[in-house]
Homo-oligomer: A and B are copies of this chain.
Amino acid sequence: MTLFNVLDILGIISFAISGSLVAMRKKLDPFGVFIIAFATSVGGGTLRDVLIGAQPVFWMKNTDIIFIIMGSYFFAVFFRRKLKYLNKSLFLFDTIGLGLYTIMGTEIGLNAGFHPVVVISIATMSASFGGVIRDILCNEVPVIFRKEIYATACVFGAMIYLLLHNLGFNETIVYVATSSVVITIRIIAVVFHLSLPTFYTKR
């Protein structure tokens, strides 16, 4: 089991829990909560696999993923009272998932031999699409369009990955740096309510 596998699994767990939390806040029934957990968790990677042509998509080839999602779902359901401060837990798991999926998306795009700009696009879509699907299905404003910087954090994370990778740093350093960049940008953005500058004149 490589470091990559471990991060992969942690990303799946984080997004599955974040999906379950949003769905329970919306008071969906047990099956609905599971569907949202599943879609949030595999949505970004499924889009990535379909666009690059790596079918059957990853979770059909590695069934462990489905059971990991089930486990995360039951964890979120049973500990929903402990996860009382839902908004904070949700933000935490969503942000960790975002960082880990940025790593995986970059890695897969790089291995497939794409141009750096395409690799960054793939990484950003892999990382942010699960949360977008979750929010569309739950009828919330997609995270990507909310005030605070979101997908932009993935773009910077993927750039750092490519930079360090080209400078010859080893895997562990690249992974730690990438996820730290994504998670830090996202936390700073939310804590200080940072958003991108706008084009529009304020009145």
- Which chain A residues have a beta carbon within 8 Å of chain B's beta carbons? 24, 27-33, 35, 46, 50-53, 55-57, 59-60, 63, 66-67, 77, 80, 112, 114-115, 117-118, 121-122, 137, 142, 144-145, 147, 149, 151-152, 195-200
Asked if A56 and B53 sit within 8 Å, CB to CB, the answer is yes
Q: Which residue of B lies closest to A30 (CB)?
A: B196
Asked if B195 and A29 sit within 8 Å, CB to CB, the answer is yes
Q: A30-B197, A50-B51 are in contact. List 7 more A-B contacts (CB 8 A).
A: A27-B198, A27-B200, A29-B147, A30-B196, A31-B196, A46-B51, A66-B121
Q: Within the complex, what minimum Cβ distance (angstroms) separates A70 from chain B?
A: 9
A33 to B152, CA, bound (A): 12
Asked if A52 and B51 sit within 8 Å, CB to CB, the answer is no
Nearest 7 Cβ contacts at the A-B interface? A53-B55, A29-B196, A63-B115, A52-B56, A60-B118, A30-B196, A31-B152
Residues of B with C-beta under 8 A to A30: 196-199
Given A66-B117, A66-B118, A144-B35: A50 and B52 interface contact (C-beta under 8 Å): no
Greatest chain B CB density within 10 A among A30, A118, A121, A149 is at A118
Residues of B with C-beta under 8 A to A198: 27, 29-30
Asked if B51 and A117 sit within 8 Å, CB to CB, the answer is no
Q: Within the complex, what minimum Cβ distance (angstroms) separates A173 from chain B?
A: 28
Asked if B55 and A50 sit within 8 Å, CB to CB, the answer is yes
Given A60-B51, A66-B117: A31 and B77 interface contact (C-beta under 8 Å): no
